[in-house]
Amino acid sequence: VQLQASGGGLVQPGGSLRLSCAASGWTSGYHAIGWFRQAPGKGREGVSCISERDGSTYYAESVRGRFAISRDARGTVYLQMSSLKPEDTAIYSCAMAAGPCARNGVQRGGDEYAYWGPGTQVTVSS
């Protein structure tokens, strides 16, 4: 399985970006795609995820209402980021896990995701 995230860049506070995650090599099976981010000097944070089976989604409290995750017919997953803040600055990575997006109302941790792609830098600055 290969994952490729793209769409990062430099944007002013209040601006928008759309990240894409293209996956290949996954032949079948119930899976989820998650977005994670890591800012300099901080730990990895789960941002959002989507389940392939029923399209259920999850958002971290820090991005709820500003970010939207979606999936197209080819399986590419998008993360639409709006009202961006300087604290959203991080490397964003997408990952794939077998099974659901979240458990008990919480996005599954990064250690449960078996496949990762290279991240894309998002910088929010004026």
pLDDT digits (tens, 9 = 90+) for 110-126: 899 999 999 999 999 99
C-beta separation of 82 from 25 below 8 A = no
Residue 42: what residue type?
A: K
- Report the sign of the C-alpha dihedral through residues 84, 87, 88, 89, in that order: positive
CA distance 76 to 30: 15
pLDDT digits (tens, 9 = 90+) for 37-77: 999 999 999 999 999 888 899 999 999 999 999 999 888 99
Question: In the structure, what pLDDT confidence band is assigned to residue 104 with cuts at 50, 70 and 90?
Answer: confident
